Structure 1
Amino acid sequence: MAAINPYLTFNGTCEAAFNFYKSVFGGEFPFIGRYKDMPPAEDGKELSPTEGELIMHVSLMIGNTPLMGSDAPGNYEGEMVTGNNVSISINADSRDEANRVFEGLSAGGTVTMPIQDTFWGAYFGMFTDKFGINWMVNFDEVPSNA
């Protein structure tokens, strides 16, 4: 079965928060990506230079578990408020498992990003389930540390 990991969303303070966590837990960031590294949005939304510097994804290994996070620029995410800024990230063992979990858990909920191939090479989707819990489902053809 897939592994699950905590995923934290911040309102512009992700980099500072993860540098703080790193100072406490040690280690290095296996990956850190910024919104400016994304290809242009299909819907024509553009990021300001400040939003481009925000964190799109970062991970920090704490023991054997990656703590993951990102910022929520207004153009790409719903409004971030304390309480909706934690997601459960599922790393599936296969596309079939990713599809099964995505379809099952999102039933009756709200899909915020359909599960699909992404520019960073993963098969990924996001949704809020019918109980208000935020989920991310990910499958990497070649597993990464993040």
Structure 2
Amino acid sequence: MTLGVYINFKTEAREAIAFYGQIFGSECTDLMTYGDLHGKEEGGPEMDDATKKLVMNASIQIEGDTVMFSDTPPFMANFIPGNNVTLVLDTKDADKLTRYFDALSEGATKVMPLQKTFWSEKFGQLTDKYGIGWSFNLSA
């Protein structure tokens, strides 16, 4: 299992990826936009062209660790600088992922229950009772 860092931006994720990538000699090869999501999930939010261009998920390697990035589109929770870092548990062990999600759910605000997405068989998000954001991802 790995523990990763996820940094959210209002609309500056592409700029930050380029900035950090230049500093650390890393190139992003997995950028997905909210436009890539549109139409793949039933009942998804309507998006204007500007929102479709925002970064939904991307990552770079910094000294061997994965740092992930995302923009915060208008249909999601308000972007609050200082509360824009999330810890990410990524594992191939579905039982362990569920166990950690359930344990951290005590007193937490569930943002997204563990569920199948187009990128993972199990993915979920919550903000724990201490205000720390967590994402849970089952790797293929």
Secondary structure, aligned partner of 2:58:
strand
CA distance in 1, matches of 2:121, 2:30: 14
Which residue in 1 is equivalent to 2:11?
12
Q: Structure 2: 5+ residue runs without aligned partners? A: none
Q: Structure 1: 5+ residue runs without aligned partners? A: 142-146
Secondary structure, aligned partner of 1:74:
coil
Which residue in 1 is equivalent to 2:33?
34
Aligned length: 139
CA distance in 1, matches of 2:110, 2:94: 18
Q: TM-score, normalised by structure 1?
A: 0.89
Query: Residue deviations 1:115-144, cap 9 Å, x none?
Result: 111112342110000111100011112xxx
Which residue in 2 is equivalent to 1:86?
85
Which residue in 1 is equivalent to 2:106?
107
> Does 2:39 align with 1:61?
no
Q: TM-score, normalised by structure 2?
A: 0.93
Query: Residue deviations 1:80-100, cap 9 Å, x none?
Result: 111210000111231111101
2:120, 2:137 within 8 Å by CA — same for their partners in 1? no
Bigger Cα displacement from structure 2, 48-57 vs 38-47: 38-47
Deviation at 1:3, TM superposition (A): 1.2
CA distance in 2, matches of 1:122, 1:71: 23
Q: How much is the aligned-residue C-alpha RMSD, in angstroms?
A: 1.3
Which residue in 2 is equivalent to 1:144?
none
